Amino acid sequence: MNGGTDFLKRINGDLFTEGMDLIERDPAEAIIGLKKLIDENPNESNLWWLLGNVYKDIDEKLKALESYEKAIELDPENYMALDAKGRIIIDKNPKEAIKCFDARLELEENAEIYYLKGLSTQFIKDYTESVYCFNKALEIEMVNPTPAYQSWHYDAWNYKGVSLMHLNAYEEAIVSFNQAIEIDPNIDTAWVGKYNGLEKLENYDGAMECLAKIKSIRGTEIKTQKNNDEELKRQIATLNSEIKNHIKKRNDKFIEAGEIAYSECIATDYNFTPDIKTKLDDILALDTLIDKTNTDIVTEKSKVKKTGFLAKLGGAVSSAAKQGKFKLDLYNFGTQKKSAIKDFGEILWGSFKTEGFMIDSISNIWEVVEDIDKDINVKENKIKELNNTLETMVVT
């Protein structure tokens, strides 16, 4: 990693000094002066970096970004421009910021750049990488401390704790929040993180102590997510009801697909997998029982004895009772067949998804089922998010 040293050797000292003198002046005058120097020395990377700094200071972020990018284009090892570009886009375009910080770190390891990369990876929810970066930043700083930059130490420990919370590493998160609190016990953010971690661990006494500290720092009552419990529960109930309706629609589609496929499968010699063959055999067996029961009902209806009034009456009663039993059996077999047909359709859907087994006559049904499944998945994920919020009283 000697790129940073090589870059420093390439700096035109006189132009750099002249540019630094200019940025000490009024911004409008500095911009005019730097543009003049750039016209005379268009390939001097550091002049573009200095111009970007002036634009950044007057909140002309787009022009600042263009200047930093020009500086990097002229010298890809201009680590000051890489650093500056990454900082200015860290929250708007964290993925691009990460590229800048990675390029900067290839030239030279730097504690604060690791910290900034940690923030960037947190923005894109890569919490494992975020924890790694914060650890690297703090490790480097311990070996080679730079007091001028210690203002970020508190945030490094605090944001490391935040990432650990997202990874459900609550005990480690609390250790990290404690480190931040040790640096400055009068900032409430780490106390809030510690409170939430203790709540997750069900250490309610410790959580209440944190809550009291937060209240004393803020000097106001504490707002928590508990205030939204009823609304969250209502949203979850609505989503569960919608999922229930979707599942019914999906089951109806499985029955429709199963009925069509069953009729076709009886007439066609498909090469079924064992699980599909088992379900098909179940339906065939039920059909056999249904046919036999219908025959038994017809047979029983014809059994009426005609030898004597009492015998005739007894025979009629016996016949009616048996018919009732057969009709009940028929109803039960019909219910079982409907369930088996649904299971058959569902297993065909699973086979289509995993193995691509397709019966053309039901392909249009699978398009509908796929849309239903996607909607169920979206709603289930939303319920998980709402439940996570509901489970913990998060201080805001």
Taking the C-alpha atoms of residue 360 and residue 346, their distance in angstroms, rounded to an integer, is: 16
Q: What is the pLDDT of residues 306-363, one digit of tens each?
A: 555 555 555 555 566 677 788 888 888 888 888 888 888 888 888 888 877 778 888 8
Give the DSSP letter of residue 268: S
Q: What is the pLDDT of residues 84-122, one digit of tens each?
A: 999 999 988 999 999 999 999 988 888 999 999 999 999
- pLDDT of res. 148: 47
Average model confidence (pLDDT) for the chain?
A: 83
Are 1-95 and 109-222 the same fold in CATH? yes
Which residue, among 152, 4, 158, has the nearest Cα to 83 in the 3D structure? 4
pTM of the predicted structure, to 2 decimals: 0.55
SS3 of residue 224 by DSSP: strand
pLDDT grade for 28, boundaries at 50, 70 and 90: confident
pLDDT grade for 164, boundaries at 50, 70 and 90: very high
Taking the C-alpha atoms of residue 216 and residue 69, their distance in angstroms, rounded to an integer, is: 46
Which residue, among 241, 260, 258, 254, has the nearest Cα to 368 in the 3D structure? 254
- pLDDT of res. 225: 52
Q: What is the pLDDT of residues 256-299, one digit of tens each?
A: 888 888 887 766 666 677 777 887 888 888 888 888 888 888 88
Please, what is the Cα angle at 340 between 336 and 345, to 5 degrees? 150
What's the whole-number mean pLDDT along residues 159-163? 95
Q: Which CATH class is domain 1-95?
A: mainly alpha
* Per-residue tokens: 385: 């998010």
Cβ pair 344, 283 in contact under 8 A: yes
Instruction: State the residue for tokens 């849309």.
Output: 371
- Phi then psi for 393, rounded to 5 degrees? -85, 95
Topology adopted by domain 109-222: 1.25.40
* Per-residue tokens: 177: 């929040």
* Per-residue tokens: 267: 């007439």
What's the whole-number mean pLDDT along residues 163-172? 95
- pLDDT of res. 179: 93
pLDDT grade for 167, boundaries at 50, 70 and 90: very high
| Domain positions in the chain | 1-95, 109-222, 243-386
- pLDDT of res. 136: 94
The identity of residue 145, as a single letter, is: P
Which residue, among 52, 125, 54, 126, has the nearest Cα to 89 in the 3D structure? 52
Cβ pair 292, 300 in contact under 8 A: no
Taking the C-alpha atoms of residue 180 and residue 157, their distance in angstroms, rounded to an integer, is: 5
Q: Which residues pair with 224 in a beta bridge?
A: 395
- pLDDT of res. 282: 86
Residue predicted with more confidence, 365 or 232: 365
* Per-residue tokens: 208: 């209440």
Please, what is the Cα angle at 213 between 210 and 214, to 5 degrees? 85
Cβ pair 129, 120 in contact under 8 A: no
pLDDT grade for 149, boundaries at 50, 70 and 90: very low
Kindly tell me the sign of the dihedral angle through the C-alpha atoms of 82, 85, 90, 94.
negative
Q: Which residues pair with 395 in a beta bridge?
A: 224
